[in-house]
Amino acid sequence: MSGDVTRRPRSPRGSGEQLADEIITATTDLLIESGSEEKVSIRAVARRVGVTSPSIYLHFEDKDALLDAVCARFFEGFDEVMMQAAEGIDDPLERGLAQGLAYVRFAIDSAVMYRITFSRITPPGKPTLTDEVLLSSAFVHFSETVTALMEQGLIPPGDPVPTVLQLWSTAHGLASLMIAKPGLPWGDDLQMAEATLRAACRGLGQDPTLPRSDS
């Protein structure tokens, strides 16, 4: 492939945010196409967008900062999907299950970005933009569901954060396994995932009256 850049027209004033958005989109596309962040360079991103490499650095300090912004965008999409799945569901248990299943589905449908996003390690005491977005969106919204479960006596009351982490770990483990081992007998329409999430809720609540999956 030629190293020449296909020049884009000069951007009008005030279009920096639009260019940053195009850079994030181009980087996401390249990551999905290549399957690896090591195979995506600033030069390749610049070529895809139609700008020079220095133009990228005007918006992102380095490749790591760019990847952080890409992963943050991914989590914004994650949160939107989980909120849409929970919309209109009054029962907090069914709402939580809907959010968990939406999490697993979105992860499977976005397997490359899911794997790349969660492979990036956050140094202790140094939260990234990705962490900030996650903790201010999906984490908060799922915490609200867990709080509702506590208020209705479906799970023991207390700090919702440990429970959120337990249920998140369950959904994350399911998603990771289903991505890595799609040939296992997971059942139609995530039947195994739903049964596992229900079992996790029953275990937390230690309440035999919680509804059981028929699968």
Which residue segment(s) compose the domain that 199 sits in?
Answer: 65-205
pLDDT value at residue 16:
66
The CA distance from 164 to 186, in Å, is 24
Rounded to 10 degrees, the C-alpha dihedral 140/37/51/61 comes to 60
**Per the domain annotation, does 9 fall within a domain?**
no
Q: Return averaged pLDDT per consecutive 10 residues of the chain, 215 residues in all.
A: 41 65 97 94 96 94 95 92 93 92 94 92 82 89 93 91 93 94 86 90 64 45
pLDDT value at residue 46:
97
- Residue of 128, 135, 131, 134 whose CA lies nearest to 64: 128
For tokens 């396994």, name the residue.
177
**Per the domain annotation, does 28 fall within a domain?**
yes
Indicate which CATH number applies to the domain containing 42: 1.10.10
**Per the domain annotation, does 53 fall within a domain?**
yes
Rounded to 10 degrees, the C-alpha dihedral 80/85/88/92 comes to -110
Residues in the chain: 215
User: pTM to 2 decimals?
Assistant: 0.81
Q: How many domains does the chain have?
A: 2
pLDDT value at residue 50:
95
pLDDT value at residue 186:
85
pLDDT value at residue 15:
52
In the DSSP assignment, the letter for residue 51 is S
